[in-house]
């Protein structure tokens, strides 16, 4: 009978961080790299820019923006329901597994994505996103359970670094298939490349399920309560969120930090979700092959630089403090968004991608660990992280809806990217209100 590794032990910390290695292939291959290129290729192949959905014509990019927003809205709603049950019953690892498998099998289902089956195709994309982000609710809540406060910054950064490295490993394999499909027994040319992209979605699901087993083996179940789920328990999550919200008045630092996080995270996540679509439509690549290769290079630059960014941010937070570091990162984001509005050439896009990578990994890992440090002493970490995740998801819903609306209204994603400056700038102002200690 295996004995659970003690809190703070190297074995437990590594097991927790390794889930980033397992699931980050979704955020890279599906959310950022291959799927956006595949999605654009489908419309290009059909020689159309819009599709009929629910009786109306809608452009390709607003369609995926609205689908993404809908998925995040569902995650924001179900997270408190599930976290309340998980806390009460003490089996949040089972919920982590459920969302992991939901996301992974939905990635496999993306193999069948086609414009002629647009509804079922978008449904696979929808549930893949729900599975990925739903699992993060429970994964993030484990951070204060497995690591002591002095370990959390470095462990959070380690998780993101592992995720970036692991996802790049699989992406390189997938991109070899896309660029040279004949090496893998597929037809050379466009049709073979599209088939390779579809196969890459399957590899994401297999990778995600396979490597997550190491994490599942070592993580504890939860608080090990022996309660049964009843009707009353189902809505415990919302009661816990209200309780967390009420407790914010007693913890000024946590409340002010959450408000700032809500605002700037809205912009960060929107950039991450639409960056490749922006590059695909707004940059003058030349031909289709040049576009595919250019987007691939840009994504690899972001991922590789992000590893360095997460480590440098962790070191900076140790020297200058978490809040001061977050303020500087948000100021850099403001500059990036302003510059991106004027970017038109591949070289300019590569340079911008490098700066995005530098601050992308850093702001995510530091935001998570900063929130963990501000938490009051409690065993109910899932409820607090559920509140954190719900705030993030609602922010993403607002960000993606605004982004899609401006894109649909003006016919250009370039106008949409500019409005993100407002959120990063406001984030800087709000972070100045957070106590430094």
The better pLDDT of the pair 32, 357 is held by 357
pLDDT in tens, 166-181: 888 998 899 889 888 8
Burial, 56: exposed, middle or buried (Cβ in 10 Å; 0-12, 13-18, 19+)? Answer: exposed
Pairwise CA distance, residues 26 & 33, whole Å: 10
Q: Give the residue among 309, 323, 313, 197 at the shortest CA–CA distance from 257.
A: 323
Q: State how far the alpha carbon of 416 is from the alpha carbons of 27, 282, 400, 404, 411, in Å.
A: 22, 12, 10, 8, 10
Tell me the per-residue pLDDT of 87-146, one tens digit each, with 9 for 90 and over: 666 677 888 999 999 999 999 999 999 988 889 999 999 999 999 988 887 887 788 788
pTM (2 decimals)? 0.78
| C-alpha triplet 290, 291, 297: angle, nearest 5° | 85
Q: What whole-number distance in Å separates Cα of residue 367 and Cα of residue 329?
A: 11
Residue 148: count other Cβ atoms within 10 Å of its Cβ: 11
The pLDDT tens digits for 142-170 are 887 888 877 887 888 788 788 878 888 99
Domains of the chain with CATH codes: 10-218+234-431 (1.20.1250.20)
**Distance from C-alpha of 317 to C-alpha of 366, rounded to nearest angstrom:** 8
Distance CA 61, CA 416 (A): 11
- Two tokens at 332? 């850099």
CA 45 to chain centre: 29
Closest CA relative to residue 121, chosen from 62, 198, 45? 198
């Amino acid at each position: 009978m295996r004995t659970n590794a003690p809190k703070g032990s190297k074995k437990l910390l590594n097991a927790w961080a390794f889930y980033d290695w397992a699931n980050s292939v979704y955020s890279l291959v599906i959310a950022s790299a291959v799927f956006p290129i595949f999605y654009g290729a489908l419309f290009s192949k059909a020689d159309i820019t819009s599709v009929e959905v629910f009786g109306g014509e809608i452009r390709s990019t607003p369609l995926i923006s609205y689908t993404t927003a809908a998925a995040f809205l569902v995650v924001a709603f179900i997270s408190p329901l599930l976290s309340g049950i998980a806390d009460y019953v003490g089996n949040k690892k089972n919920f982590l597994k459920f969302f992991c498998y939901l996301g992974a099998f939905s990635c496999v289902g993306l193999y069948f994505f086609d414009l002629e089956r647009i509804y079922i195709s978008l449904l696979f994309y929808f549930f893949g996103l729900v599975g990925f982000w739903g699992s993060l609710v429970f994964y993030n809540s484990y951070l204060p359970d497995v690591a002591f406060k002095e370990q959390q910054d470095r462990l959070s950064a380690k998780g993101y670094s592992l995720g970036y490295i692991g996802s790049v490993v699989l992406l390189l394999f997938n991109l070899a298939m896309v660029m040279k499909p004949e090496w893998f027994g597929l037809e050379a040319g466009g049709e073979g490349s599209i088939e390779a992209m579809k196969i890459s979605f399957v590899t994401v699901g297999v990778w995600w399920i396979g490597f997550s087993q190491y994490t599942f083996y070592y993580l504890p179940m939860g608080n090990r309560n022996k309660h049964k789920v009843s009707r009353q328990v189902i809505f415990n999550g919302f009661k816990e969120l209200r309780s967390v919200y009420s407790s914010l008045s007693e913890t000024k630092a946590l409340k002010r930090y959450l408000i700032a996080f809500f605002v700037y995270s809205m912009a960060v996540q929107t950039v991450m979700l639409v960056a490749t679509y922006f590059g695909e439509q707004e940059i003058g690549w030349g031909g289709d092959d040049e576009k595919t290769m250019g987007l691939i290079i840009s994504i690899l630059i972001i991922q590789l630089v992000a590893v360095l960014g997460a480590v440098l941010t962790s070191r900076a937070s140790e020297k200058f403090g978490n809040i001061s570091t977050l303020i500087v990162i948000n100021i850099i984001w403001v500059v990036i968004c302003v510059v991106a509005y004027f970017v038109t050439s591949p070289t300019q896009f590569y340079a911008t991608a490098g700066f995005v990578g530098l601050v992308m990994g850093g702001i995510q890992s530091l935001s998570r660990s900063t929130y963990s440090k501000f938490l009051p002493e409690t065993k109910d970490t899932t409820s607090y992280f559920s509140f954190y995740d719900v705030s993030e998801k609602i922010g993403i819903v607002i960000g993606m809806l605004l982004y899609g609306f401006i894109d649909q209204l003006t016919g250009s994603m370039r106008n949409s990217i500019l409005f993100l400056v407002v959120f990063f700038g406001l984030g800087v102002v709000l972070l100045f209100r957070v106590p430094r200690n």
